[in-house]
Amino acid sequence: MLKHTPMLKHTPPRFATWLLGRFGSSAHGESLAGDLIEQYQKERSRTWYWKQVLAAVLIARARFLGSLPWMAAGRLFSRLLAETAAVLTVCVVADEMRRGHGLAQAMDHRFIGTLTVLMAAAACAFAASRRGSNRIQGRAAVNALILAFGVIALGAGTLTWAAALRQDPCPSSGCVCPSE
């Protein structure tokens, strides 16, 4: 995309043009953008412009996904999993803080276990998402270390969690235990 856009009689929707440049790229992306602007100057409406941009983005994304080999798709999925686990970790901590428990109070087996499992899942998925990536080829040792840490932490976390659940069958305050 050109950094400087000459003065136009009718400026097309800026956000749509940005979307097109950012997500609708193809071999002839510049010409497509130029064609849309040319048509917009002559006779077309904003709605038409938006429709064309959305179609371009959808087509570009579909072609991009279609061109991915399955390994790359797997890496993409692992990355998604890692990010989800990382976000969940933050959510668990935030939820605990929201309930008014200090971190010191919250540090029971169950909480630590949950955090460990989530962080380990994030680390494993992140390591998997980086495997085979061009950027870290040649760093197999680092990769293996991250993976080993993930596996060990995942195992330890799961065991801790299971132990905590066995010891405390009614962990939540709203639970009515049969013995009470």
Partner 1 sequence: MAVIRPAKDAYGVLISREIAEKSGREVALASVYAALERLEKKGFVSSRLGEPTAERGGRARTYFKPTAAGVKEAREAHETLLRLSGGLSSLNGEPSC
Catalog residues that contact partner 1 under the rule CB under 8 A: 2, 4-9, 12, 24, 26-28, 30-39, 41, 51-52, 55-56, 59-60, 63
Q: Which is nearer to partner 1, 34 or 169 (CB)?
A: 34
**Min dist. Cβ of residue 73 to partner 1 (A):** 21
The least CB distance from residue 173 to partner 1, in Å, is 56
What is the signed CA dihedral for 101, 105, 111, 112, rounded to 10 degrees? 140
For partner 1, the closer CB: 46 or 51: 51
Q: Which of 31, 23, 28, 32 is nearest to 61 (CA)?
A: 23
Amino acid (one-letter) located at 120:
A
Read off the tokens for 155: 């195992």
Closest to partner 1 by CB, 5 vs 133, is 5
CA–CA gap between residue 138 and residue 158 (Å, rounded): 32
Taking the complex as a whole, how short is the minimal distance between the CB of residue 48 and partner 1, in angstroms?
Answer: 9
Burial of residue 57, with CB atoms counted within 10 A of its CB: 0-12 exposed, 13-18 middle, 19 or more buried = middle
Q: How far is the CB of 134 from partner 1 (least distance, A)?
A: 24
CB nearer to partner 1: pick between 29 and 74: 29
As a dihedral over the C-alpha atoms of residue 129, residue 135, residue 139, residue 145, rounded to 10 degrees, the angle is -30
Please say which residue, 44 or 109, places its beta carbon nearer to partner 1. 44
**CA gap 111, 180 in Å, rounded:** 24
